Structure 1
Amino acid sequence: MKYRVIKNNDLFLMTDHYGNIQGDLQGGLYTKDMRFLSKLELTINGKRPLLLSSAADENFVARIRMTNEHEEEDGKVRLWRESLELIRERFIYGDVLYETISMMNYSTKTISFDLGMAFDADYSDMFLVRGFQPAEELGKVTERKMDDNGWHTVYMGVDGVRRETAIAWDSKPDQIAESGKVLFQINLEPAKARQITFTISPSIDGNYPTTQPREVALQELQASYERWGNNHTKVDSDSPVLNRLYDRGVQDLRVLLSDFGYGLFPVAGLPWYAVPFGRDSLIAALQMLPLNPEVARGTLKMMAAYQGDELNPWKDEQPGKIMHEMRSGELARSGQVPFAPYYGSIDSTPLFVVLAAEYAHWTGDLDTIAGLMPNIERAFTWMDQHGDRDNDGMVEYYQESSKGIANQGWKDSADSVIHANGEFAIAPIALVEVQGYVYQAKSRLAPIVEKLGFEALAKRLREEIALLKNKFEGAFWMPEEQFYAIALDGNKEQVRSVTSNPGHLLMSDIISAERAQQVAQRLVASDMFGGYGIRTMSSGSTGYNPMSYHDGSVWPHDNSLALLGMSRMGFKEEASTVISGLLKAAEHFEYTRLPELFCGYDDTIGYPVSYPVACSPQAWAAGTSVSIIQAILGIRPDAPNGKVSLDPFLPGNVNRLTVRDLPVAGGTLSVKLTRNTGTDTVHAEILDNSSGCRVEIVGQTAEVQRN
């Protein structure tokens, strides 16, 4: 990564590798989609120190180690090179940024130098930072003041919100400047050290965060991560890269969790999407079911709270629709962009029901589903009415908002739905994977609502999926490709590109076993699989570009959904190929972290090629590590009926895997997989089972220990 980012709850900091925020970069301290700190520059005698190391591998703490360059004045040494060690350690806790500058003299003589820190706050909306040009006047900074104790600014937005930034330091400075620069004259004897701690506190409408002593705040933050580590599913294998990838994914998911008043909720990714999303957050919560089902519950409640209520073309909103993205910055609050929230997503609504159904099957928590039934029924109504504009039985999208999104599936770039002749598809567009989501939502929820006493609804859902399944095949199957088209365009013509989208169908049961196998095999063929993962588009399709956002790149989450389907359908060889590719890719990325996406070049290059503006960490990329474990276990819980089935395999180069404390049905399950010597078969051993469910292992008898 070309930046360093840390986050806690709804506050995050993005800097360069030196730990600085500079005016020509997009770095800053952000909360509620606004930048509360736009400049943070450390200097030694007016110069930037030399970088030794820069790390933010813990997500919540960043440590940057630096030293000084050689300085002479009038032929005399002012500061001998590398005589000073500087360590910048920063973390966020309680909506406050803490930064401590530690200075150590490693020379044999006393050294003197000026430590400077410069600040500024421009209160730019996230849309402005990313290049949006507003048509209306924005707010203004109305107050700036600085004294020996700190620096303070006030911004009055056109949305009527008062935003403030307060910076304090624990040592008296020798010089201060109203422009926002503070200077400390430091004298250090040999082997002596000194620290200065800064606290930076953003506030909105007078709601000031509480600043704690630094050590107390750090201890409480570390304790919260330890609790997270102790309470989630543990994974250990004989594959170091699989272990690192899983641990990294779990850490990244923790830092991306926020609570907006409804429980734990995964924001989409850092740095630009640390906000509630529909599709992204729903898929991340779905991936996290084997890790922490509470996240799914919080996500469902959050989505229900912001479900569409009215016909509002400006926001692409209709009754019953689940939101796409919610922003809370000045532009959104003042109505200059339609994102408070915006509803331009065709798949968020069926994915909301998919998550509800899978959560129920995983946990057996029917009370939560019963409480969400009004929202679920409204979602079904939206799918059948507003989602199906022409009553052809397919769900399609059409942009109504002048500042909305044209392509409203997960591949939402303007060139992502492209015909074989190179022309972009015209709306309304029915995406292939969305029909699978609708089928999965209705088929998986039908037995749940039946248990809740909604027999008529269950009967209707089963009738509707039977009709959809019949229509789907004829509409999307391309006989000459032996594959499914990515979409139907506004003229009901197939968009005949070979893409990764049909891989999502493998989760849904909408296609036959024979055609599912054809899909799985094509996804790992050379035109779709370059060695590091499934490409978003076949290298043989007209629009293919390995450097593109959606037309040839590799998205880990896209692979993860295909993986879950491959595992469920029993396509273990194909699943093993995909997992092995993702593991090989992860080895090349910083911290063994799969980014949001990377370029789709073949592995003949020798390494995966990074995509320049990919989010990292990113929720559904991090969730891919959990999906890999779920796919390997072949686990399929049916908690309402007291059953769990396993159909495990081990990918190449993995011969042993132990999964402990996997949450199922209100209890936990621990499983050990071992490859049988000299074969590709796997033995599964149930180490512990407090779920209350009967465990069935395909091909062998489950010996279940109970607490």
Structure 2
Amino acid sequence: MDYLVIKENDLFLLSEPNGDITGNHSYGLGLYSKDTRFLSKLELTINGEKPILLSSDGSDNRISKVLLTNPHMEKNGELILWRESIQLERERFISEDTLYETIRLKNYFPKPVSFSIEVSFDADFSDMFIVRGFQTGKVGERTGQEFNENAFKIMYEGSDKIKRATRVSWDRQPGGIQEHGLITYVFDLEHGQEDSFTIMVEPLAGDEDKTNAVQPQKALQKLTSSYEEWKNASASISTDLLPLQKLVDRGMADLRVLMTDIGHGMFPVAGLPWFGVPFGRDSLIAALQMLAFNPEVAKGTLKTMASTQGTKVDPWRDEQPGKIMHEMRFGELANTDQIPFTPYYGTIDATPLYLILLTEYVKWTGDLKVAEELMDSVEKALKWIDEYGDRDGDLFVEYHQESSKGIANQGWKDSGDSIVHRNGDYAETPIALAEVQGYVYQAKTGIAEILEALGQPEKASDLRHQAQELKQKFEEEFWMEDKQFYAIALDQNKEQVGTVTSNPGHVLFSGMLEQNRADAVAEMLTSEKMFSGFGIRTMGEGEAGYNPMSYHDGSVWPHDNSMTLIGMSKLKQQSHAKTVMSGLIKAADHFEYERLPELFCGYPASIGKAVKYPVACSPQAWAAGTPLVFIQSILGLFPDSLNKKIDLSPNLLDEMNELLVSNISIGNGILSLSLRRSGETTECEIIENTTGFEVITAGIASPVKNK
């Protein structure tokens, strides 16, 4: 990556690899909170010159570290500072809504040296949409600044009448403070001597006016403790397949840094740097991926989505009653209605995904209390599906953009060229997507189970009947006999958009497909046309719209693969699932920090490497969640807390021989188990089972051992 990023709750920092925030970077560097850039400049110099970058490490999501040294400095033939004499280390983290940066200096020159360190800073308070170049509009203005020996404060009043400010303070008094935002320290260091200072940057909004940031050591201790709590509350794995171990560890670390709480519990924001906000489908899918590791995240995600559920018909926001939001923004452009994101509802899939997450959460936890608490929201979501989602009463849920500043394609493939006919023409809305019909089927059958458990059998029966009608209609309208595959969509004329894509793979998880057609879907998705060797492509090679460099028309998205994987695992299509998982594990070796990116190009693996997509978010929630789905799929683990049983069909990847999974929360208990290859068989040992549920196994040659 050509940037460093750290985040904690709502505050994140995006900087150059050398730690600076400059104005000439494509990503719009800065310190951001609530879609506002509170720091637009942060530059470090030594004797007025930019230091030389030695190393830059963003692998630890809590702390980023940068190692620098000085260039050679002479003036009129007189030595000022010999090259590489001073080691400069920048270490920063975010805690207590404050950025902390410590600069440490060490003298490696054999004699005493004197030098100055300058830190310059500024704040432009730009809205995120302006920084990204997506929007212009009426904005506020700087209203002044204050400074003394302890701090420097820059003030701003937005067009939304919210007063914002940035306070920069320090733990030792600088030698000089200048009104344009520059502090200077002078150091006299003996050979081998070290020294340091820390600056603190606090974003302030409204009437907020902190007096001082928390002491750095206490703030770091609190941050470290929260990471320990996260680790202890989550399931863990140990495997002899090191690349998989690294992927899972990285995925859990990335998901932790993406956690945010806006008042309803922890949930994952979509990704950094641009989507550190509540995001309907992304947050819901990431929480779904995490169920085997930390189901509490699903609860926070569900309650957050319910809190912003649509209440009225508002074309500006593509809002209707009962609809689950797409994306929520907090900057002044959103607050002044210059963009429709408070929140924006232009998504066709978030509403059924919300219902799916609830049903899966209940299956994992048995927590009917949350289901009862959200039942009013559930009924509104079901009503939205039938009344607003199905615009013409043909049983299919379809989308159409109403907002002038909204999104045209409102499925997960939301770029303008993503729904394309086989002749190259773009489909016109209203559009009914294949995977959305699967989501609706799964939502209705899942909610039916919950309603039965809550003593409402008639409502449950109605939902099952509706789901069955949808299943029959889907087979009639979406199946392409000549391709032995499903169309990606129906267009405004109810004609098939017949391009071969990954979308039907999501339907495998729904339970809507007959076995022979589910097998045909799996065969196509792992064929040379669709499978690159590193993952399932979004569009098949040879299709009119295919482009391996595109965003949605031939690229590989890990989360897209994960949605297919969980279905393959549920249907016991284990050889296909293993092919996909092995490909993605190999792909990860070509990216930084043992991390699957948001997406990568769809070139075949025969070229020798997975090709980076130029502007992928990293870290990104549903990419981080994908390795967690690998573990669930390897285990074939599908609990059913309502019926007090756990289905297990383990199948180790060919590259691995051992897997230990500990502390899986199911019902009110814990399941821990190990898999070990023994010759041609897999032995499964239940190490701990405090759930009280029956474990039903399939697909292993040897019986399950209970320790």
Fold match (TM-score > 0.5): yes
Does residue 44 (structure 1) correspond to residue 53 (structure 2)? The answer is no
Match of 2:289 among 265, 287, 293: 287
The code of the aligned residue for 1:146 comes to F
Aligned to 1:477: 479
Q: Counterparts in 2 of 1:182-331, with a 5 A limit?
A: 182-208=183-209, 211-331=213-333
Aligned to 2:595: 593
How many angstroms does 1:658 deviate by?
A: 0.7
Percent identity for Structure 1 against Structure 2: 54
Give the Cα separation in 1 of the matches to 2:684 and 2:459.
39
Give the Cα separation in 1 of the matches to 2:366 and 2:153.
51
Give the Cα separation in 1 of the matches to 2:621 and 2:689.
29
Aligned to 2:167: 166
Aligned to 2:59: 57
Aligned to 1:3: 3
Aligned to 1:179: 180
Match of 2:514 among 512, 518, 521: 512
* 8 Å contact kept, 2:57–2:65: yes
How many angstroms does 1:48 deviate by?
A: 1.2
The code of the aligned residue for 2:43 comes to E
How many angstroms does 1:174 deviate by?
A: 2.1
Work out the number of aligned pairs and report it.
Answer: 702
- 1:432-477 Cα offsets, whole Å, 9 max, x none, are 0000000111112211111101212101011001100100011111
How many angstroms does 1:605 deviate by?
A: 2.1
How many angstroms does 1:337 deviate by?
A: 0.2
SS in 2 for 1:69: coil
- 1:402-450 Cα offsets, whole Å, 9 max, x none, are 0000000000000000011111100000000000000111112211111
* 8 Å contact kept, 2:683–2:703: no
The code of the aligned residue for 2:695 comes to V
The code of the aligned residue for 1:313 comes to P
Residue range with higher mean Cα deviation, 222-231 or 657-666:
222-231
Give the Cα separation in 1 of the matches to 2:632 and 2:144.
54
- 1:139-172 Cα offsets, whole Å, 9 max, x none, are 0010123332221111100111111100001222
Aligned to 2:622: 620
Give the Cα separation in 1 of the matches to 2:196 and 2:14.
23
Give the Cα separation in 1 of the matches to 2:307 and 2:217.
38
Aligned to 1:638: 640
How many angstroms does 1:211 deviate by?
A: 1.5
- 1:315-368 Cα offsets, whole Å, 9 max, x none, are 000000000000010000000000000000000000000001000111000111
Aligned to 2:437: 435
The code of the aligned residue for 2:130 comes to L
* 8 Å contact kept, 2:397–2:437: yes
How many angstroms does 1:481 deviate by?
A: 1.1
Q: Counterparts in 2 of 1:405-424, with a 5 A limit?
A: 405-424=407-426
Does residue 693 (structure 1) correspond to residue 693 (structure 2)? The answer is yes
Match of 1:111 among 113, 122, 126: 113
Does residue 607 (structure 1) correspond to residue 609 (structure 2)? The answer is yes
The code of the aligned residue for 2:295 comes to P
* 8 Å contact kept, 1:84–1:105: yes
Aligned to 2:341: 339
Give the Cα separation in 1 of the matches to 2:15 and 2:207.
26
How many angstroms does 1:697 deviate by?
A: 1.2
Give the Cα separation in 2 of the matches to 1:8 and 1:277.
17
Give the Cα separation in 2 of the matches to 1:434 and 1:190.
67
* 8 Å contact kept, 2:684–2:705: no
Aligned to 2:567: 565
* 8 Å contact kept, 1:536–1:552: yes
SS in 2 for 1:385: helix
The code of the aligned residue for 1:409 comes to G
Does residue 466 (structure 1) correspond to residue 501 (structure 2)? The answer is no
Give the Cα separation in 1 of the matches to 2:683 and 2:486.
36
Query: Residues 448 and 703 from structure 1, CA distance in 2 versus in 1: closer, same or farther, beyond 3 angstroms?
Result: farther
Does residue 551 (structure 1) correspond to residue 553 (structure 2)? The answer is yes
* 8 Å contact kept, 2:490–2:496: yes
Give the Cα separation in 1 of the matches to 2:518 and 2:331.
44
Give the Cα separation in 1 of the matches to 2:74 and 2:127.
43
Give the Cα separation in 1 of the matches to 2:499 and 2:678.
41
Give the Cα separation in 2 of the matches to 1:537 and 1:338.
31
* 8 Å contact kept, 2:163–2:206: yes
- 1:379-406 Cα offsets, whole Å, 9 max, x none, are 0100011000000000000000000000
The code of the aligned residue for 2:135 comes to Q
Give the Cα separation in 2 of the matches to 1:569 and 1:137.
54
* 8 Å contact kept, 1:249–1:622: yes
SS in 2 for 1:604: helix
Give the Cα separation in 1 of the matches to 2:501 and 2:208.
48
Moved runs in structure 1, 4+ residues, more than 3 A? 699-705
How many angstroms does 1:651 deviate by?
A: 1.3
SS in 2 for 1:307: coil
- 1:93-142 Cα offsets, whole Å, 9 max, x none, are 010000000000011111111101110100010100110232x4210010
The code of the aligned residue for 1:660 comes to S
- 1:68-96 Cα offsets, whole Å, 9 max, x none, are 11111111221111111110000000100
- 1:247-278 Cα offsets, whole Å, 9 max, x none, are 00000000000111001111000110000011
Give the Cα separation in 2 of the matches to 1:252 and 1:692.
33
How many angstroms does 1:525 deviate by?
A: 0.8
Give the Cα separation in 1 of the matches to 2:620 and 2:23.
25
Query: Residues 248 and 573 from structure 1, CA distance in 2 versus in 1: closer, same or farther, beyond 3 angstroms?
Result: same
The code of the aligned residue for 1:644 comes to I
Q: Counterparts in 2 of 1:96-175, with a 5 A limit?
A: 96-134=98-136, 136-175=137-176
How many angstroms does 1:206 deviate by?
A: 2.3
- 1:570-606 Cα offsets, whole Å, 9 max, x none, are 1111100111011101112111011111111111222
Residue range with higher mean Cα deviation, 394-403 or 66-75:
66-75
Give the Cα separation in 2 of the matches to 1:79 and 1:606.
46
How many angstroms does 1:216 deviate by?
A: 1.1
How many angstroms does 1:46 deviate by?
A: 1.4
How many angstroms does 1:652 deviate by?
A: 2.1
How many angstroms does 1:236 deviate by?
A: 0.6
Q: Counterparts in 2 of 1:513-552, with a 5 A limit?
A: 513-552=515-554
The code of the aligned residue for 2:2 comes to K
Q: Counterparts in 2 of 1:364-379, with a 5 A limit?
A: 364-379=366-381
* 8 Å contact kept, 1:695–1:704: no
* 8 Å contact kept, 1:202–1:208: no
Aligned to 2:683: 683
SS in 1 for 2:388: coil
The code of the aligned residue for 2:79 comes to V
Aligned to 2:706: 704
How many angstroms does 1:665 deviate by?
A: 0.6
The code of the aligned residue for 1:262 comes to H
The code of the aligned residue for 1:150 comes to A
The code of the aligned residue for 2:697 comes to I
Give the Cα separation in 1 of the matches to 2:511 and 2:144.
61
Query: Residues 208 and 290 from structure 1, CA distance in 2 versus in 1: closer, same or farther, beyond 3 angstroms?
Result: farther
**TM-score normalized by the length of structure 1:** 0.98
Match of 1:584 among 563, 583, 586: 586
**TM-score normalized by the length of structure 2:** 0.98
Aligned to 1:22: 22
How many angstroms does 1:676 deviate by?
A: 2.8
Q: Which runs of 5+ in 1 are unaligned?
A: none
* 8 Å contact kept, 1:546–1:553: yes
